[in-house]
Amino acid sequence: MKLSAEEQELYRRVDEILHYLWDPIGVSDIPLARDEYHSYLPKVFSLVISEAKHHEISEYLVKVESGSMGMSPNNGKAIEVAKLLIETKEALLE
């Protein structure tokens, strides 16, 4: 699927939000870990672009934290990040 310039910018920003703000394992200050969350990026981008509600996005983030990463989920942070992702999409695409 070919993304528009605006969608490409949104993809880049979703990546940055996941790395620098969500960052459940605390690697945002490690340059060699810049790709740590890339495997989750396509799904999160898909949720954001498909008009998912913030609770749907945060549920996915919490599922990743607890299931894939074995971490204690941070529901509050997941909701905050999900809302920011939606706000970013609205600012860039609407």
Domain that holds residue 21: 5-93
Q: Would you tell me how many other CB atoms lie within 10 Å of the CB of residue 5?
A: 8
> What is the rounded average pLDDT of the residues 30-48?
97
Number of domains observed in the structure of the chain: 1
pLDDT at position 56 is 98
CA distance 45 to 41: 6
Percent of the chain with pLDDT over 70: 99
pLDDT at 94 over 90: no
Please give the model's pTM, rounded to 2 decimal places: 0.94
Residue among 47, 59, 58, 48 nearest 94 (CA): 48
> What is the rounded average pLDDT of the residues 85-91?
97
pLDDT at 1 over 90: no
pLDDT at position 52 is 96
> What is the rounded average pLDDT of the residues 26-40?
96
What's the CA angle centered on 84, arms 79 and 90, to 5 degrees?
130
Cα dihedral angle (77, 82, 87, 90), rounded to 10 degrees? 170
